[in-house]
Homo-oligomer: A and B are copies of this chain.
């Protein structure tokens, strides 16, 4: 058995440099904990100056074959991101019997099945802890530590950008656009922030978590997605008055059917997820034995993500050492039924502006009632004068209702002459806590 575990690194951007740093700074304890030294043998990277700054010029190459054909490389660490060429590279590596560690949520969420099949064919390991929640070890927790449980719900704050934006909006009362600018200034949002603010990033992550939690393949296309661009400081402020905070939640639940969705939601302020601030992530998991748990930490960033990558490398090194690679394979044993969007259940926060006249509320309540939507509370927030007409802003919280019913009711309500506008409709979640 080799005395050294050899790594082939695809890319030395931010996270890759972090991996290099950890393998250097913590080298002796990693060797002690794994029983072998872990060394970077080759790096696929065009940017010579990056390699030079890390003192790794010799390891650099722009031919992937140099990694594939190097027998001293047992583990390929992929940090390129995006679908291609990552997917092809990983399939080739697994096909040759090399083990794979990746932080690439896109390729895992969409091509997980294919990648696991390739790993199985050569009894290779395929690990991806860093693809969800950065340094938070939620994937291994779901696969191993909580394996005795039937998982009932996974509810995550898995996108730091949107959590930062919502935190700033809540703390400072600023508009979404201003908070997005602040996030860009702080380096927490990209020039094109749509993957974050529209919920696509969170959808990929919850697809991965749901697949593991419920042992059935969920891809991003199975996820209902709604972003945070319509959230206003007024909604956040009203939510606060009612004892809630607004978070972008990634939710996966199994109850008869599986449902997976990403959307902003009012979360009770005493729920563990409510305290997750700024760019931090947290994943709340409810199991039929363990009850409520939550796992909290930095969901992104160089060193936190690299911590998860190197943790996976060390686990594979132990598998190599003990001859037990392939011990964790695909866990999507079943093909479970997905709940259609219209049959989701939730409470709703609804903010609307109506003419301030007798009977207005009765009309609205009547439409909700006709559509099986029962109201928990109705609060008149303020009166407005719009072009000489006196208007009232109402905030309603419904009881638990079916998505299709609320949408049907809202369609009718928008057509009522007494209704000026439906300002916002936001789900209320986290009631499990009781």
Contact = CB atoms under 8 A, between A and B. Distances in A.
A71 interface: no
Nearest to A33: B147
Given A29-B150, A311-B148, A293 B141 contact: no
Nearest to A310: B148
Nearest to A303: B289
A22 B289 contact: yes
Given A33-B147, A140-B145, A146-B311, A295 B296 contact: yes
B291 A294 contact: no
Contact of A291 (B129, B150, B304): B304
Given A289-B310, A304-B289, A30 B148 contact: yes
Given A294-B296, A327-B318, A148 B22 contact: yes
Contacts of A146: 135, 137, 307, 311
Interface of A: 18, 22, 25-26, 29-30, 32-34, 129, 135-137, 140-141, 144-150, 215, 270, 272, 275, 277, 280, 287-298, 301, 303-304, 306-311, 313-315, 318-319, 321-324, 326-328, 331, 333
Nearest to A294: B296
Contacts of A26: 148-150, 288-289
Contacts of A29: 150, 215
A269 to B, nearest CB: 10
Given A22-B149, A318-B327, 6 more contacts: A18-B289, A26-B150, A32-B333, A280-B292, A291-B297, A322-B324
A-B pairs, 5 with minimum CB distance? A137-B145, A148-B310, A324-B324, A293-B297, A322-B324
A284 to B, nearest CB: 9
Central interface residue in A137, A270, A303, A310, by most chain B CB within 10 Å: A137
A198 to B, nearest CB: 27
A147 B30 contact: yes
Contact of A136 (B149, B293, B314, B327): B293
A277 to B, nearest CB: 7
B145 A293 contact: no
A135 B293 contact: yes
A33 B310 CA distance: 25
Given A148-B30, A277-B270, A291 B301 contact: yes
Nearest to A334: B32
Contacts of A290: 135, 297-298, 303-304, 307-308
Contacts of A310: 147-148, 289
A144 B314 CA distance: 8
B314 A324 contact: no
Contacts of A328: 318
A148 B307 contact: yes
A323 B123 CA distance: 14
27 contacts: A22-B149, A26-B148, A30-B147, A32-B215, A33-B147, A135-B146, A137-B146, A140-B140, A140-B141, A144-B311, A144-B314, A144-B315, A147-B315, A272-B275, A275-B275, A280-B292, A289-B304, A290-B308, A291-B303, A292-B297, A293-B298, A294-B295, A294-B296, A295-B295, A318-B327, A321-B327, A322-B324
Contacts of A34: 147
